[in-house]
Amino acid sequence: MRELMKLESTAGTGFFYTFTKNKKKQQGKLEVMKYDPKARKHVKFVEKKLSK
């Protein structure tokens, strides 16, 4: 079973990417550098729970 999650920008723009995460393997919170088109640069994105 996979759970839908989001990667939210730390730049404060409100931009986020969605991805799926395996629920059976308990990993730590994901932090990754990705491109934020609203800020127009690469910033750190952190994992948050996607509200339905």
**CATH (residue range 2-49):** 2.20.28.120
The confidence score (pLDDT) of residue 26 equals: 76
**Domain-by-domain residue ranges, the chain?**
2-49
The residues of the chain scoring below 70 in pLDDT are 52
pLDDT value, residue 12: 95
- C-alpha separations of 39 from 11, 30, 47 in Å: 7, 21, 18
DSSP 24: S
Give the pLDDT score at 51.
80
* pTM, 2 dp: 0.86
